[in-house]
Copies of this chain bind each other. A is one copy, B any other.
């Protein structure tokens, strides 16, 4: 299990090179970009809807949505007011740099300040593939349970911020926030977190302020 297969190494190397090309294109156009990752149903699209509505008039937003099938997510992003491109991966369990390259070609990047890339709903595979985005954000959700950092360490280790969604469900679920946070802290010390509820709107403002500050850097 520890021996690397050369074919895989080559694929990963090619992906990282292409991710660097994507980054250069984004930088040249002055676009700040984030890669949003989460389990299926953790609330990626709902957070994107809040972000579009909350930053409208302050930043020009574009969204790239990755899914196995359908354009449900891009339709929602477009309805919320952003330019949206849907990537259907077929069977693939994650986005990769070549998919993002194809999506970037469909956007006028000079008209974009902030690009939100919604990865395929998956706590494993997306963590292994760089896209060229500036920051990686993980959305955890309360109903997923408090043991997820322990069981999916690769994902929690590699992200720049953590959104903890669906806090409105805390009264109805056995979720030990201290246990959860200890797991996060062990993997990613000092990680900034945003507990919020996309349903009630609680906590969303702090996320928007942070995102706005990141974009201004």
Q: Chain A residues in contact with chain B, CB under 8 A?
A: 1, 7, 39-41, 67-70, 72-73, 90-91, 93, 120-125, 128, 141, 143-145, 147-148, 150-154, 166, 168-169, 172-174, 199
* Cα distance A173–B123 in the bound complex, in angstroms: 22
Copies in the complex: 2
Bound complex: CA A125 to CA B174 (Å): 28
Q: Do A166 and B151 touch across chains, with their CB atoms under 8 A apart?
A: no
Known: A41-B144, A169-B169. 17 other contacts (CB 8 A): A1-B90, A40-B144, A40-B148, A41-B148, A67-B151, A69-B150, A70-B147, A72-B150, A73-B151, A91-B154, A93-B124, A122-B123, A122-B125, A125-B125, A143-B166, A168-B172, A169-B172
Contacts of A41 in B (CB 8 A): 39, 141, 143-145, 148
A40 with B72, Cβ < 8 A, contacts A141-B143, A143-B141, A143-B169 known: no
A68 touches B154 (CB 8 A): yes
Nearest chain B CB to A65 CB, angstrom units? 10
How far apart sit A154 and B120, CA to CA, in the bound complex (Å)?
Answer: 14
- Give the chain B neighbours of A125 by CB distance below 8 A: 93, 122, 124-125
**Complex formed: what's the CA distance from A120 to B73 in Å?**
25
> Quick one: given A124-B122, A169-B169, are A151 and B70 in contact (CB under 8 Å)?
yes
Please state if A69 and B151 are interface contacts (CB–CB under 8 Å).
Answer: yes
Q: Report B-chain residues with C-beta under 8 Å of the C-beta of A93.
A: 93, 122, 124-125
